């Protein structure tokens, strides 16, 4: 096995999108997006006999005092048939990242694996989740009638109600982005969750129109709900959503989800990922998602592989103090 730098889209995506429940956060496009909003992006692979068996898209996150850390969202990705070699693969990746970290002033690698971590020679600490550790994945191998039948009765009712109210689903493109941002800001205030800056969502939609799409549900020409959805590999992922207080009785978000599920199925995707459920953190959103049925999937969580223990301890101390106040 040997480490390689991945330097083109075909090389990375032909591997990453061939894995079951393909992770859009490990796509080439996600790295290009983060070059705009974060900065340095490193793409590494592990090759065996000329074939890529693992890959990692790593984003540099800046910290005060000239320090930083690396972040690998929903990765590294390891070929399922090579999971028996996970320890060796991870150590090859971490060894290379430690070299890069030495001149990038990166203290650790933060990562969210989708597999159980093996023991490695590196100190690895579990930390607070960055990406949700539990999600809901809907298989799309059933007919539309079967998918509807499997839903909660109230979810089916709300879809039909939105149809009766003549909710219209459109793909508006970037020219309507500011309308989505206004709606997202309204939703953030109502439901008390924090947003990234406006450019984060705009750049996400600009990177590749086949990779991320903006979908609207309109009621009498007014924006009632909007979603950002990613299409990658075998999976369509519901990444971000917003809805208007004024039109809550139209049940537009239900029809918007159902439209996207049908679109994913029509395009030949195998799975629809609702991307995060938690009955304690997000009870209302979780009930909404669970109404569509699907398989609850739990990942191990978020971890830090430590490269510089001294600075890492300083970082942890400062983080604790900030959370206290």
Q: Which pLDDT score is estimated for 287?
A: 96
122 and 139 part of one domain: no
pLDDT, position 318: 82
What proportion of the chain, given as a percentage, has pLDDT over 70?
A: 99
Give pLDDT tens digits for 138-154: 999 999 999 999 999 99
pLDDT of residue 46: 97
Q: Is this prediction's pTM over 0.75? A: yes
111 and 227, same domain (yes or no): no
Residue 204 CA neighbour count, 13 Å, CB half = 20
- Of 197, 188, 199, nearest to 226 by C-alpha is 188
Residues 186 and 77 grouped into a single domain:
no
Each residue of 151-181: pLDDT tens digit? 999 999 999 999 999 999 999 989 899 999 9
Q: Whole domain around residue 224: which residue ranges?
A: 134-298
Q: Mean pLDDT, to the nearest integer, of 54-73? A: 96
Average pLDDT over residues 109-135: 96
> 158 and 273: one domain?
yes
Q: Which of 144, 188, 148 is nearest to 285 (CA)?
A: 188
Number of domains in the chain: 2
76 shares its domain with 151? no
Same domain for 99 and 161, yes or no, is no
Are 245 and 315 contained in the same domain?
no
Question: Residues 140, 283: one domain?
Answer: yes
Do 123 and 139 fall into the same domain?
A: no
**Closest among 142, 201, 156 to 292, alpha carbons compared:** 156
Measured CA to CA in angstroms, residue 28 lies from 14, 18, 119, 209 at distances of: 10, 13, 29, 14
The encoded tokens of residue 249 equal 């009785």
| CA–CA distance, 227 with 291 (Å, rounded to integer) | 18
What is the per-residue pLDDT for 102?
A: 94
Q: How confident is the model at residue 320 (pLDDT cuts 50, 70, 90)?
A: confident
Q: Which of 50, 44, 57, 54 is nearest to 19 (CA)?
A: 54
Q: Mark whether 76 and 167 lie in a shared domain.
A: no
CA distances from 158 to 165, 229, 258 (A): 10, 21, 11
What CATH number is associated with residue 265? 3.40.630.30
Average pLDDT of the residues in 213-226: 96
State the average pLDDT for the chain: 95
Residues 201 and 281 in one domain: yes
Tens-digit pLDDT profile for residues 250-304 = 999 999 999 999 999 999 999 999 999 999 999 999 999 999 999 999 999 999 9
Residue-level pLDDT at 194 = 86
pLDDT reading at 325 higher than 80: no
The region of weakest confidence among 79-88, 106-115, 150-159, 192-201 is 192-201
Query: Phi and psi (nearest 5°) for 249?
Result: -75, -10
Query: Do 120 and 170 fall within a single domain?
Result: no
Looking at residue 324, its pLDDT comes to: 59
């Amino acid at each position: 096995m040997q480490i390689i730098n991945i330097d083109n889209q075909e090389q990375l995506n032909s591997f990453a999108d061939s894995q079951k429940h393909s992770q859009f956060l490990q796509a080439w496009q996600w790295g290009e997006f983060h070059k705009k909003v974060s900065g340095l992006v490193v793409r590494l692979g592990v090759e065996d006999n000329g074939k890529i068996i693992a890959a990692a898209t790593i984003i540099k996150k800046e910290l005060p005092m000239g320090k930083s850390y690396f972040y690998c969202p929903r990765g590294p990705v390891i070929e399922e048939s090579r999971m028996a070699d996970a320890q060796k693969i991870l150590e090859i990746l971490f060894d290379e990242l430690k070299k890069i970290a030495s001149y990038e002033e990166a203290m650790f690698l933060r990562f969210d694996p989708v597999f159980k971590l093996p023991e490695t020679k590196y100190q690895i600490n579990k930390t607070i989740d960055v990406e949700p550790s539990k999600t809901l994945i809907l298989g799309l191998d059933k007919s539309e009638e079967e998918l509807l039948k499997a839903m909660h009765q109230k979810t089916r009712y709300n879809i039909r109600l939105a149809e009766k109210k003549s909710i219209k689903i459109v793909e508006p493109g970037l020219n309507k982005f500011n309308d989505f941002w206004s709606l997202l800001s309204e939703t953030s205030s109502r439901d008390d969750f924090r947003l990234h800056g406006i450019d984060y969502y705009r750049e996400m939609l600009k990177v590749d129109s086949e990779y991320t799409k903006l979908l609207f549900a309109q009621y009498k020409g007014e924006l009632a709900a909007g979603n950002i959805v990613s299409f990658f590999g075998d999976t369509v992922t519901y990444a971000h959503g917003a809805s208007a207080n004024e039109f809550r009785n139209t049940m537009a978000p239900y029809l918007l989800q159902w439209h996207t599920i049908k679109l994913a199925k029509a395009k030949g995707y195998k799975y629809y990922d609702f991307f995060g459920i938690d009955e304690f953190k997000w009870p209302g959103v979780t009930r909404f998602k669970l109404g569509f049925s699907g398989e609850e999937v739990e990942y191990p969580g978020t971890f830090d592989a430590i490269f510089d223990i001294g600075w890492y301890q300083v970082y942890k101390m400062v983080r604790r103090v900030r959370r206290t106040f």
